Amino acid sequence: MKTMQSDVIVVAAGPAGLAAAITAGENDLKAIVFEKANTTGGAANMGMGPLGIGTKIQKREFKDLTLEEAYDIHMKYTHYRVDGELVETYFEKSADTIEWLQDMGVEFAGAFKYFTESAATWHIVKPENGVIGPRAAGPMVRIMTEKAKELGAEIYLETPVKSLIMEDGKCVGVRAVDKNGEEIEARAKAVIVATGGFGNNAKMLKEEFGLDLWENFFPFHVPGTNGEGLNMMWEAGAAKYGANIEMIYQLKDNLDHFMLDACLRQPALLVNQRGKRFLDEGQMGNTTFTGNAINLQPGKCAYCIMDRNLIKYYAKHGPDIFDIVHPEECFYAFEDGVKHAKETGYDGYFEADTIEELAEQMGIDPDTLAETLEEYNEMCEANLDHQFHKKPAYLRPITGRKGGFVAGKFYIAAYGTIGGVRTNKKGEVLDADLNPIPGLYSAGSDCNTIYGDSYNFTLPGNTMGFAINSGRMAGEAVADYVNE
């Protein structure tokens, strides 16, 4: 067995782990980072950028949001069912963290909203290809990785941690296995676990949330998020606490059918498997609210129905709902998306000349769907949604003339899981009595318990922001602990 010694050990090299390793180095601590994948970054490789509040970027763009305003928004959104001190510490640190990243060489395209009702807190990393969208944060990951190494961190890839070493109630190291199968015993004065949750562990998803992965739940596929870090911490005495998902909605195989997904998430007619409306479609810009509503429907799915005439209208005049991720140019690429769906035998897209034919394809009672559509069009003609009070501006008749009906099947999804253990503002992992477990810290999605029951999409960039900031917070606390 190979043995190692360090000041601090970081389990996983995602944005939280990298931030923790960099902070350790800034405090003259030696850090060893074990990452089971063959690259660093984790979910951040698919992301776009972190939250920042009161940053210079926001102020230059006249999008300033004060700490007090953001705190009030978040605490009211979560009904105060979160640790206010943890939220305050993270928010207060976020502006400094944006400058901290800039000092490393990270460039930001600006501060953005996700959708109209959100705040401009999303500091999207300047993309290498010039196009703002998924994976924009890749350059940030590379810069953070190099900075961690520059400050002395040793990063071991393809080296999963198997267990924590506990002695006399303290966490004093880990046991790992390298890519050649050799066992490693690494000891340190503190361990920071930042493994990103269990978004790809079908068994845990079923046990914790009753979700069936790739059947009624289609999250982003982030390799390696299987919950090992949480299981280690639970075995070490951490209480189970606050596990949830970052609820959103999307077509299955979203990234392969991105343009269809983008076109079909407009406030047209959204129905469940029984052919009935169930919410104001004007809420579809808030993917958490819509995901929550879809989660309550039969089969945890819903269908957004339009016609080609409406697609052409959006191509000419722009969409009713704008967001930063889904480009309005998607409507010009709609037919290309349809062609790709047909060529690949995709079962998330439907089209037909009549509403009855469309209903049969979707497995919905044709009479019920025809009745729902008739009632919906009557409300459009009256310019009044007496059922769910959708804005009159969004009430556009769907007739199927000039090209027939089109529809997409949306499922609940998530960027990943959040929470599982509880930490304080120092990143100390707490036991069932809310006492810190000496030497054990956590950061990122493993301990992200700041949302209550619903991901806060009104302050975008929150999960990556929490990951990086909590990594710094844990790294600073470890420095104090080691030097006591």
What integer pLDDT is reported at residue 276 of this predicted model? Answer: 98
What is the percent of the chain where pLDDT is above 70? 100
132 pLDDT above the threshold of 90? no
Instruction: Answer yes or no: do 181 and 258 share one domain.
Output: no
Q: Residue 213: inside a domain, yes or no?
A: no
Residue 177 sits in a domain whose CATH number is 3.50.50.60
SS3 call for 389: coil
Q: Residue 208: inside a domain, yes or no?
A: no
**C-alpha dihedral, 363 to 364 to 365 to 368, nearest 10°:** -170
Given 370, 390, 413, the domain boundary residue is: 413
What integer pLDDT is reported at residue 188 of this predicted model? Answer: 98
What is the percent of the chain where pLDDT is above 90? 93
What integer pLDDT is reported at residue 98 of this predicted model? Answer: 98
Residues with Cβ within 8 Å of residue 117, at least 6 apart in sequence: 285, 286, 458
Contact yes or no for 202/22 (Cβ under 8 A) = no
pLDDT-derived band at 224, boundaries 50, 70, 90: confident
Given 413, 442, 473, the domain boundary residue is: 413
Rounded Cα–Cα distance for residues 81 and 274 (Å)? 34
What integer pLDDT is reported at residue 400 of this predicted model? Answer: 97
What integer pLDDT is reported at residue 324 of this predicted model? Answer: 86
Given 360, 387, 413, the domain boundary residue is: 413
As a residue count, the chain comes to 484
Rounded Cα–Cα distance for residues 85 and 469 (Å)? 14
Q: Give the strand pairing for 154-156 and 31-34.
A: parallel
Look at the block and give the residue holding tokens 């998020």.
225
The average confidence (pLDDT) of the chain is 96
Q: Could you give the number of structural domains in the chain?
A: 2
- Least confident interval from 119-133, 181-195, 299-313, 376-390: 119-133
Contact yes or no for 223/216 (Cβ under 8 A) = no
Instruction: Answer yes or no: do 39 and 130 share one domain.
Output: yes
131 pLDDT above the threshold of 90? no
pLDDT-derived band at 130, boundaries 50, 70, 90: confident
What integer pLDDT is reported at residue 389 of this predicted model? Answer: 98
Q: Residue 210: inside a domain, yes or no?
A: no
What integer pLDDT is reported at residue 445 of this predicted model? Answer: 97
E strands, 95-240, are 108-112, 122-125, 154-156, 161-167, 170-177, 183-187, 190-193
Rounded Cα–Cα distance for residues 474 and 20 (Å)? 6
Other residues' Cβ atoms within 10 Å of the Cβ of residue 482: 17
Instruction: Answer yes or no: do 50 and 157 share one domain.
Output: yes
Number of H helices, E strands in the chain: 14, 17
What integer pLDDT is reported at residue 35 of this predicted model? Answer: 98
Residue 303 sits in a domain whose CATH number is 3.90.700.10
Question: For 36-90, how does the pLDDT look when each residue is reduced to its tens digit (9 = 90+)?
Answer: 999 999 999 989 999 999 999 999 999 989 999 999 999 999 999 999 999 999 9
290: containing domain? 247-413
Structure token pair of residue 403: 């090209």
